[in-house]
Amino acid sequence: MKNAMLAITVALLTFSTSLSAYKRSVNYDESKVPAYELPDPLVFNNGKKVENARQWEKKRRAEVLEVFSQEMYGHIPGRPEGLHFKTLSEETVYDGLGIRKVVRIYLDASQDHWFDVLIHLPKNADGPVPMFVGLNFKSNAATLDERADFRWPYELVLKAGMGVATAWRDAIEPDGKDSRIKPEDDVCKDGGVRSWYNRGGDWGAISAWAWGLSRIVDYLETDKAVDCGRLAVIGHSRLGKTALWAGANDLRFDMVISNNSGCCGAAISRRKFGETFGVIDTSFPHWFTREFDKYKGKEETFPADQHWLIALAAPRPVYVASATEDLWADPKGEWLAAIHAAPVYGLYGLKGLSPEMPAPENSDSDNSIGYHIRTGKHGIFAFDWKQYVNFMKRHYDPAK
Ligand code: GTR
């Protein structure tokens, strides 16, 4: 007993020491960013150069995907057998502007596991509509709370003739030890998908959430009101990392949007500016595969950097957004990763960003890679959503 207590104390001390040591070394000074060399996404594992889009699609893309699956987020399993859906409710909302539906996604034939999707669709659409698909932090009901409105501005999106589908992250996989799992509402019965599906698979919570996003697409493909040629996966912060990863894995997403996703999302890791591998993997080890541990404090040894993750969206339009006060997420690193994803888009004759970082509130989004930095704090606000709606219009609704 005594020994066990001692072991726990030592383990706790080691944990807190290393986390605080990692935190102490966090850098916010641009002049202290180490010199680094970015790995080239367009070189095959065998050292040969990728010459064209065909080579990228046939072989190199899979190599890049495998680096992140193997070393960072874990492998995402496929669609489970027995997946089926049931519409639980449907009502008209916002004075006739929209329809709100709740659809239960049953993850197995015996209906032991499920999560709910909250869907908003414009009511008087001429035909199938484009959709934003993303997870939320606090519950589907919380996205309807007016105080959370800025995160989920449903009316703004509906007015643009687009829809939104969202599900609670924790209903798919709880976010670690202090998750707020409740036995009611939209919660998967026994907690997380990793506890019953692909058990023993080395996949982190980010992969589990991305898997859940793909299950939402499985449903949307059956909904005639939805245009499955115009689906944007979107996410903020840890769910922005998830959106990038979901978009990389599931080509049914036609657009990928990362809002303030930072470390292990859009930001270049080798800059070690703001959050680092040491901090993130010590604070949130459950987000990643266990293989990721070996890179703590050693960003420069990771075989990829995050511009590769953004490049996995190619040739689909991708948008990265930062906030001026969100130094933890390294805005410049997010912009640089978007810049360095461009060569992969170049294989398709598509353009990326302008060479200068845009001023706050100026969206650089005429081409296939979009970027803006918004004045203010870490968060997703109406300003950010307006840029995403515009980006969607530009790429998928040229008539508007
Ligand atoms: C932070 C974490 C970030 C980011 C953020 C969030 O604590 O360090 O990587 O994901 O949480 O999701 O709000």
Region 238-248: mean pLDDT is 99
H helical segments located in the chain: 2-24, 53-55, 61-68, 154-159, 169-172, 205-220, 238-249, 277-283, 306-311, 331-340, 342-346, 382-396
Measure 237 CA to ligand 1 centroid, in angstroms: 6
Residue 190 has pLDDT above 70, yes or no: no
Region 236-258: mean pLDDT is 98
Q: Which residues pair with 133 in a beta bridge?
A: 165, 233
Residue 62 has pLDDT above 50, yes or no: yes
Residue nearest to atom 8 of ligand 1 (CA): 280
Mean pLDDT computed over every residue of the chain: 92
Residue 309 and residue 244 in contact, taking contact as beta carbons nearer than 8 Å: yes
Interval 120-167: pLDDT, tens:
999 999 999 999 999 999 999 999 987 766 799 999 999 999 999 999
Residue 186 has pLDDT above 50, yes or no: no
Residue 380, both tokens: 């997703």
- Sign, CA dihedral 66-68-70-71, equals positive
Instruction: Name 398's Cβ contacts closer than 8 Å, sequence gap at least 6.
Output: none
Clarify whether 236 is annotated catalytic. no
Among 207, 237, 363, 368, the one annotated catalytic: 237
pLDDT of residue 180: 40
Residue nearest to atom 13 of ligand 1 (CA): 237
184 band by pLDDT with thresholds 50, 70 and 90: very low
Clarify whether 340 is annotated catalytic. no
Interval 70-81: pLDDT, tens:
999 999 999 999
Measure 161 CA to ligand 1 centroid, in angstroms: 31
Query: What percent of the chain shows pLDDT beyond 90?
Result: 84
Q: Dump the DSSP string for 341-373.
A: THHHHHTTT-----SSPPPTT--B-SSSEEEEE
pLDDT of residue 198: 86
Residue 183 has pLDDT above 50, yes or no: no
Give the C-alpha separation, 344 to 310, whole Å. 10
CA distances from 88 to 45, 123, 131, 393 (A): 48, 18, 20, 31
Residue 227 DSSP code: E
Indicate the SS3 state at residue 180.
Answer: coil
Burial class (CB in 10 A: 0-12, 13-18, 19+), 10: exposed
Q: Cα 317 to chain center, whole Å?
A: 15
pLDDT of residue 196: 86
Residue 214 has pLDDT above 70, yes or no: yes
pLDDT of residue 341: 99
Interval 73-112: pLDDT, tens:
999 999 999 999 999 999 999 999 999 999 999 999 999 8
Query: Is the beta carbon of 240 within 6 A of some atom in ligand 1?
Result: no
Instruction: Name the phi and psi angles at 327, rounded to 5.
Output: -65, -25
Residue 17, both tokens: 């020491």
Query: Is the beta carbon of 276 within 6 A of some atom in ligand 1?
Result: no
Query: What percent of the chain shows pLDDT beyond 70?
Result: 90
Measure 135 CA to ligand 1 centroid, in angstroms: 15
Residue 43 has pLDDT above 50, yes or no: yes
For the question of whether the overall pTM of this predicted structure is more than 0.75, the answer is yes
